[in-house]
Amino acid sequence: MNHLDTLNLLTGYFLRSLPGFMIGVLFILLIGKKSFITRIFSYVLLFIMIRDVMTPLGLWSFGTEGVFWLRVIENPGFLLVVAILSVGIVLVVNRVDREAGDIWIFRRTSYLKTVATGLAGAALVFVPMLLIYQFVPIEQRGGAVTRDPAFLASLLIFCLSANFLEESIYRGYFQGYIVKLFSPAKSAVLSGLLFSFSHIFLATTVTDAGWGVIAFTAFEGIVAGFVYLRGGVLAATITHGGAIFLLCSGLF
């Protein structure tokens, strides 16, 4: 691993993210305790910003050359730093925003059942893609990925940690809030649709991935919403992060 390359990647990422991040945080601070749902949507917008910055910097890539695919930059150092920061953001928000922390549910049952629920959800999301991939050469879906154990380990940590942040926002905060207003099933569907809607700019403007991203994220988001109902944020994270790891690892 080239540490200079990692430093350059992190510097570029943070410098591009900083202006929007500062404005977003200032907006949230000025809202204060007046409107929790406004803060939730502010968290959504902030996440979209720090996620989509990765695209112009070449930190990940998408495609629909016959089928939807995803690849992440092969730099373990960068992935691990972003993973740590993602978990840190959740811990800070849960501590500072008490309303968010109060409705955020890490797990609803034992760790064994939670992990099993999350893995079942990941399989449900990925198996349809796996079946499609059997008919599409890997060269047409992002190309081969290094089998270096250090990279694959860092990729798994990144997928789980970054999606821990994402699931905390969409499931832990948004779905945790609206489940009081709608039925559990409807709250799961709504959180999934918001999740997919949040990828429209990424799918149509930032990249040319188009309908592939919209369709995949809608299905993935709804599955994660139902998994959250059974196992909490941890289970939804395993579903989301596990599916994304399988999708971009090139192992299948």
Q: Where are the domains of the chain?
A: 3-248
How many Cα atoms sit within 13 Å of 232 on the Cβ side? 14
Tell me the helices (H) and strands (E) count for the chain, helix number first: 10, 2
pLDDT of residue 62: 86
pLDDT of residue 2: 67
Residue 153: which residues within 8 A CB-CB, separation 6 or more?
76
List Cα–Cα distances, 4 to 11, 79, 227, in angstroms. 10, 14, 40
pLDDT of residue 68: 87
pLDDT of residue 202: 86
pTM reported for the whole predicted model: 0.95
E strands of 43-123, at which residues?
60-63, 69-72
pLDDT of residue 90: 98
Per-block mean pLDDT, blocks of 10 residues, the chain (252 long): 83 95 96 95 96 92 82 96 98 97 97 98 96 91 92 97 98 98 98 96 82 92 98 98 96 90
pLDDT of residue 87: 98
pLDDT of residue 67: 83
